């Protein structure tokens, strides 16, 4: 079982998430064989606290969020509510959050009104 506190401390030791830190994260996360909501929220907390993250970390984060929100190419109202909580409860959406929402919208076939509203509020 992942010790999130220890893994986060190791990952953020330098304040930056680069390739080495990403390798450490992936080794631990994939050993669990799950990329669920808890993992997405854990990655979001690292993303918020890090001074910077590498592009590969952002790709991992987008993939994990997409796995948890896209069902048959659609984002449900529940998925949109979870995204709102994940991205904007700690303040306004960042540029990285806007890119994430854009990427999710790009991957969807249909979006619910709740996601459309979140997207418009954050991205415009």
pLDDT at 91: 82
pLDDT at 18: 97
From 107, 96, 5, 93, select the one nearest 57 (Cα to Cα): 96
pLDDT at 27: 93
**Which parts of the chain sit beneath pLDDT 50?**
none
pLDDT at 90: 76
Question: CA-CA-CA-CA torsion for 81, 85, 88, 90, nearest 10 degrees?
Answer: 160
């Amino acid at each position: 079982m992942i010790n999130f506190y220890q893994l986060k401390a190791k990952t953020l030791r330098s304040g930056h998430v680069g390739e080495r830190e990403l390798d450490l994260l992936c080794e631990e996360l994939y050993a669990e064989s799950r990329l669920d909501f808890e993992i997405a929220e854990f990655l979001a907390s690292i993303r918020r606290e890090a001074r910077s993250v590498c592009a590969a970390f952002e790709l991992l984060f987008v993939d994990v969020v997409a796995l948890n929100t896209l069902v048959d190419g659609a984002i449900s109202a529940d998925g949109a509510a979870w995204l709102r909580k994940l991205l904007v409860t700690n303040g306004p959406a960042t540029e990285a959050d806007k890119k994430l929402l854009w990427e999710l919208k790009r991957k969807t076939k249909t979006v619910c009104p709740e996601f459309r509203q979140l997207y418009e509020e954050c991205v415009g």
